[in-house]
Structure 1
Amino acid sequence: MEEKNSVEQNKEVVIKFNFEFFEKGNIEITKELLADTFTNHTAPPNAPKDASIMIQFISGFRKGFSDISIQIHEVLAENDKVSLRKTITATHVGEFMGKQPQGKKVTLSVIEIDILKNGKITDHWSRNDFMQVFQDL
């Protein structure tokens, strides 16, 4: 059987992280797939740049939303970079960031870029329409 090249392995790591962390809420996956030096370049101003703000967000998100599903539309990779375009759908069933449950289905559009070294994500950038979707709740 042919061994996968590092670009294909990197794509698999990013896809696995998305499904395990965002869709399933498995925060332990951060220990397996994020490097000790992981930097979240999308963290809010004055927030830690490690994985802690992502863990805090997904924990709260899972309390406020159910039926979380990720659809990955494109995965592009070159050398140590992986970029993907995805949508996340969920239903607002619990209090989240001060908003009472509306029972509304939401769809978030996301584009992210990750850098990997030795099979682990070292750097992460993301752009999404979360604030617009949140304001519409």
Structure 2
Amino acid sequence: MSIEHNKQVVIRFNKEFFQSGNTAITKELLADNFKNHTAPPNAPTDASVMIQFITGFHKGFSEVTVQIHEVLAEDDKVSLRKTISAAHTGEFMGKPATGKKVEMNVIEIDILKDGKITDHWSRNDFMQIVQGL
């Protein structure tokens, strides 16, 4: 697959999975051997942790948007810098709705093979946001 195609796969995944909460998209855009290198210690490294997180996130937050600031790609790697914005309108991680608007800054790296994401790493400031709710 071309570098441009790989970039579009990662952008689509971000818009459909993170922004829209479409967990079914994992079957289409993540490889069978997908590995989430950002999974918490002792957690499964397949897509299940990400699916669980995004399902809970969309229950606790509304008006979710993903703004992609930069997309860089080389060979089979795509990296992006994004901001996820949302409003805390439901219970999340034991915290009742506050109505606060939040912004999470994320940098991620994905590896793709045959048009599917095989590996994922990300760094974000999410825990600081949760503490501020």
Q: What band does the TM-score fall into relative to the shorter chain?
A: over 0.9
Q: Does 1:132 align with 2:132?
A: no
Measure, in 2, the Cα distance between the counterparts of 1:20 and 1:101: 24
Cα displacement (A) at 1:17: 0.3
Cα displacement (A) at 1:61: 0.3
Measure, in 2, the Cα distance between the counterparts of 1:7 and 1:72: 17
Structure 2: give runs of 5+ residues left out of the alignment: none
Partner of 1:35 in structure 2? 31
Measure, in 1, the Cα distance between the counterparts of 2:80 and 2:105: 11
Cα displacement (A) at 1:49: 0.1
Measure, in 2, the Cα distance between the counterparts of 1:47 and 1:81: 24
Partner of 2:93 in structure 1? 97
Cα displacement (A) at 1:29: 0.4
Partner of 2:64 in structure 1? 68
Partner of 2:43 in structure 1? 47
Structure 1: give runs of 5+ residues left out of the alignment: none
Measure, in 1, the Cα distance between the counterparts of 2:96 and 2:42: 27
SS at 1:62 equivalent: helix
Measure, in 2, the Cα distance between the counterparts of 1:11 and 1:109: 19
**TM-score, scaled relative to structure 1:** 0.96
Measure, in 2, the Cα distance between the counterparts of 1:101 and 1:62: 12
Question: Stretches of 4+ moved more than 2 A in 1?
Answer: none
Measure, in 2, the Cα distance between the counterparts of 1:57 and 1:27: 10
Measure, in 2, the Cα distance between the counterparts of 1:26 and 1:95: 20
SS at 1:9 equivalent: helix
Task: Output the amino acid matched with 1:112.
Answer: E
CA RMSD, 1 decimal: 0.6
Aligned-pair identity (%):
74
Task: Output the amino acid matched with 1:66.
Answer: S
Larger radius of gyration: 1
Measure, in 2, the Cα distance between the counterparts of 1:9 and 1:73: 18
**TM-score, scaled relative to structure 2:** 0.99
Task: Output the amino acid matched with 1:108.
Answer: M
Q: Does 1:21 align with 2:28?
A: no
Q: Does 1:80 align with 2:76?
A: yes
Task: Output the amino acid matched with 1:130.
Answer: F
